[in-house]
Amino acid sequence: MFERRRTKGTTKIVRISILLVFLGLIIMVLVVYNLYSRVFVTNVSLDTDQELFYIPTGSTFEDVIDGLEEKDIIDNRKSFRWVSIKKGYEGSVKPGRYKIRNGISNNELVNMLRSGNQDPVMVVFNNIRTLDQLAGKVSRYLEGDSVKFAAYFAGRELVIRYGFEQATFTSMFIPNTYEFFWSTTPEAFTDRMSEEYEKFWDGERDRRAKRINMTRSEVVTLASIVDEETLYDDENSQVAGIYINRIEKGIPLQADPTLKFALGDFTVKRIVNDDKKIDSPYNTYKYKGLPPGPISIPSVSAIDGVLNYEKHNYIYFCAKADFSGYHAFARTLSQHNKNAREYQKALNQKRIYR
């Protein structure tokens, strides 16, 4: 009788133990699933395949969470916060431009933001005349505004640091398409431009510059004039050849774009005699040789046009009277004057006086 009761008691304890173990397993599964869902289940539900998310420099962890929630990038704020803290993102926020894919988990999102794995931007600049214009162009792609970039470019110490003079500093910026991170600072941008400048010149271009007895800055200065004179790249080397001929013969360049630079107005369509009287080192009607520095940031095609200038006997050129954008070239002053009269007559007919 006693043995029977003890057996029943033991069986009951076993059942309770099994039940407790089962409940424990259920709780463990629930805990594991909860952890798994926080970490690995999708927490990004977008209306599109991807969304760009910007984290400005100086942003805090809370700023990031608020931004993700405001843009409806994350579904569950609490789970993102929990995973972020567990993975150490709370104290390592990195600014940048991030491309967030639809359907990713907290784990993937935190890993990307924590590592600073930004989506790069393609910075494109060309047809730039001044560093202020360059600052405006670059600021369209990068975090810093135009004022910040312009102020940095204007630093005198900066010019010396890169081995230039104030008048030639624009030579360092070679127009092209470059890959940058959105958070790139003006300093980092300029450092990169210095590296690209060396890559651009090192090798064949340096050898060509040496063959025509010109420095890099002199080539760029002449290229900037050629670029302003020509509308079509196929004239670059021919126009460059005229200026080289003038330099070698000691004839002033008489380049209208340099007067426009001296006047501070590139909108002028017609240079008049009074313009030629301006006292400026950029007045190539008054002073022989190249001006102190570039009048713009020339295109690569113009630079290569100078380095590979066409050897000919032309000394003069002026715009064609048909307004095609091409030029009439001349070896003699009388032929040039005839071409110039035709063009001036065409300007008068169109009532272009300035």
What is the DSSP secondary-structure string of 173-233? ---EEEEE-TT--HHHHHHHHHHHHHHHHTTHHHHHHHHTT--HHHHHHHHHHHHHH-SSG
C-alpha 128/C-alpha 146 separation (Å) is 14
Q: Which residue matches tokens 């007919």?
A: 349
C-alpha 201/C-alpha 220 separation (Å) is 11
Q: Give residue 231's pLDDT.
A: 92
CA 292 vs. chain centroid, Å, equals 26
C-alpha 304/C-alpha 301 separation (Å) is 5
Domain with CATH 3.30.1490.480 in the chain: 50-115
What is the DSSP secondary-structure string of 85-109? HHTT-TT----EEEEEETT-BHHHH
Q: Determine the angle formed by the axes of helices 61-70 and 77-86, rounding to 10 degrees.
A: 150
Closest CA to 235 of 287, 142, 306, 167: 306
C-alpha 91/C-alpha 116 separation (Å) is 13
Q: Give residue 324's pLDDT.
A: 86
Question: Which residue type occupies 199?
Answer: K
Q: Give residue 100's pLDDT.
A: 95
The 10 Å CB-count burial string (b at 16+, else e) for 291-315 is bebbbbbbbebbbbbbbebeeeebb
Contact of 106 with 43, CB cutoff 8 Å: yes
What is the pTM assigned to this prediction?
0.85
Q: Give residue 347's pLDDT.
A: 84
C-alpha 52/C-alpha 75 separation (Å) is 16
Q: Give residue 323's pLDDT.
A: 87
Q: Give residue 33's pLDDT.
A: 44
Q: Give residue 24's pLDDT.
A: 53
Contact of 290 with 218, CB cutoff 8 Å: yes
Contact of 244 with 309, CB cutoff 8 Å: yes
Q: Does domain 50-115 have CATH number 3.30.460.10?
A: no
Give ∠ CA 180-232-224 in degrees, rounded to 5: 60
Residue ranges, the chain, pLDDT below 70: 1-9, 12, 14-40, 353-354
Which DSSP letter does residue 294 get? Answer: -
| Side-chain-facing half-sphere of 343: CA atoms under 13 Å | 20
Give ∠ CA 142-146-150 in degrees, rounded to 5: 115
Q: What are the Cα distances from residue 227, in Å, to 210, 232, 273, 293?
A: 21, 9, 23, 14
